[in-house]
Amino acid sequence: MIDVCAQEKNQMSSITKALAGIAAAIESVTETEIVSLKLALGRVLAEPLYSTINSPFDRNSAMDGYAFSSTDLIPEQETSLTQVGCSWAGQPFQGRLQAGQCVRIYTGAVLPAEADSVIMQEQVQINGSIISLPTQTKGQEHIREIGEDIKQGDLVCSANKKITAIDLGLLASTGIDSVVVKRKVKIAFFSTGNELTALGQTLESGKIYDSNRYLLTGLLNDPCYQVTDLGVIADDPQQLEDCIVAAAKNHDLIISTGGASVGDADFIKEVLVRCGKVDFWKIAIKPGKPLAFGKINDCHFFGLPGNPVAVIVTFQHIVTPALEQLSGIPMSQPLHFVAKCSSVLKKSPGRQEYQRGILSQDTNGELLVSSSGQQGSNILSAASAANCYIVLPIECDGIQPGETVRIELINNIVNSVISH
């Protein structure tokens, strides 16, 4: 007797294999554009950025206090200094310090050339212009040295880095006000299915609202992407072909949802075989097994499953790495944690499952996870309640409460852990 399940298992590939295929097939966009720093958040740097200045530019104070020379400190005794001026942030002391003198100084203010130390204002005694430093005063403290953050000529950000909010601050600190970034990746997406109904219309029996285009609108919300929503295309090979061929002319990637499996109304395969090159992957994951990956001329194509939760899982694990590759950033790997599971999780061996879970942390810092509800690939409510995937390996045949499981945060959607 033929073991159909075993046969199918052999034909299924792993995520690792799929990602290797993507890495080999996709090249980053090469065109660049210049954007002002304020518009650079989330964009990908096309070239390395070096600093033309030292940061800090001057030797300055890390505290509000008094600047002095450590050579004035009298060992084992209080030291009294005469205050002869003030150095404000943005308005340095203009004079020179003689032996036995100090200046009032504020955080960020330039240190007089003769000073090498700052004492906090809370630690001194003030008597008119006489400032007394306690016996245990250490010299050479609370100073920010020239270039201690970034030296002139240092690499500030490397090419292919996706600019973060912190990078904006860093780049601004070195005076960089515009950057050369890779152009946006042009992505078109559509839903397919005769049952799909537009929002605003009354639902008739047998129909459903089209969730996937809204899901994709959210998932594709990234400053690196320029997104076109192509709407709903009927289960009609000619309409699908017309849509795909037209979109392929001016996009880097087309994403469809639905119609990619082997039902009678699933035409994505037929159309792609006709107008491009396509691979059909049965990736051994649940949800999300059937997936088409192909190319129409220079445009890449992902045919994702129709069920919304399968869209979420395949988007994060397959499409996101492809988009990273297209945008020009290194492919990321999901971070894995280990948590104690408090739910019974049903599973049959054969596929790696991404069950939706709720991750929390107890007062001792231990990570706990529970199922977020029904695990059907159409169950959006439990996916919405989740903040993580519980990743159950291929061979796992279920989990009992108290067992430890591997978890992964649901990227782009939530990244917080609930604490008790």
List residues binding ligand AMP (CB under 6 A). Answer: 191, 193, 195-196, 208, 210-212, 257-261, 263, 266, 305-308
Q: Which does 305 bind (CB under 5 to 8 A by kind): Mg ion, ligand AMP, none?
A: ligand AMP
Considering only 193, 294, 305, 357, the residue that binds Mg ion (CB under 5 A) is 193
Closer to Mg ion by CB, 139 or 193: give it. Answer: 193
According to DSSP, residue 251 is labeled -
The encoded tokens of residue 327 equal 């945008």
To ligand AMP, the closest distance from the beta carbon of 260 in angstroms equals 6
Pairing of strands 336-341, 290-296: unpaired
Cα gap 294→286, rounded to integer Å = 21
Closer to ligand AMP by CB, 169 or 263: give it. Answer: 263
Q: Which does 307 bind (CB under 5 to 8 A by kind): Mg ion, ligand AMP, none?
A: ligand AMP
Closer to ligand AMP by CB, 100 or 263: give it. Answer: 263
Closer to ligand AMP by CB, 120 or 273: give it. Answer: 273
Which DSSP helix (H) or strand (E) runs through 67? strand 65-68
Q: Which does 352 bind (CB under 5 to 8 A by kind): ligand AMP, Mg ion, none?
A: none
Tokens 């295929």 -> residue: 21
Cα gap 406→339, rounded to integer Å = 6
Kindly state the number of chain residues that form the binding site for Mg ion, as judged by CB under 5 A: 3
Angle between helix 15-25 and 320-327 (nearest 10) = 20
Q: What single letter denotes the amino acid at residue 284?
A: A
How far is CA 263 from each of CA 194, 205, 259, 305, 417, rounded to the nearest angstrom? 13, 21, 8, 12, 39
Does residue 290 touch Mg ion according to CB under 5 A? no
Strand, helix or coil for residue 308 = helix
Q: Which does 191 bind (CB under 5 to 8 A by kind): ligand AMP, Mg ion, none?
A: ligand AMP
Interface of this chain with Mg ion, residues 229 to 258, rule: CB under 5 A: 258
Residue nearest to Mg ion (CB): 193
Q: Which does 257 bind (CB under 5 to 8 A by kind): Mg ion, ligand AMP, none?
A: ligand AMP
To Mg ion, the closest distance from the beta carbon of 265 in angstroms equals 5
Which DSSP helix (H) or strand (E) runs through 242? helix 237-248
Residue nearest to ligand AMP (CB): 306
Does residue 303 touch Mg ion according to CB under 5 A? no
To ligand AMP, the closest distance from the beta carbon of 11 in angstroms equals 19
Cβ count within 10 A of residue 243: 21
- Residue 120's contacts (CB-CB under 8 Å, 6 or more residues apart) are 63, 64, 65, 142
Tokens 């000073």 -> residue: 115
To ligand AMP, the closest distance from the beta carbon of 373 in angstroms equals 18
Q: Which residues contact Mg ion (rule: CB under 5 A)?
A: 193, 258-259
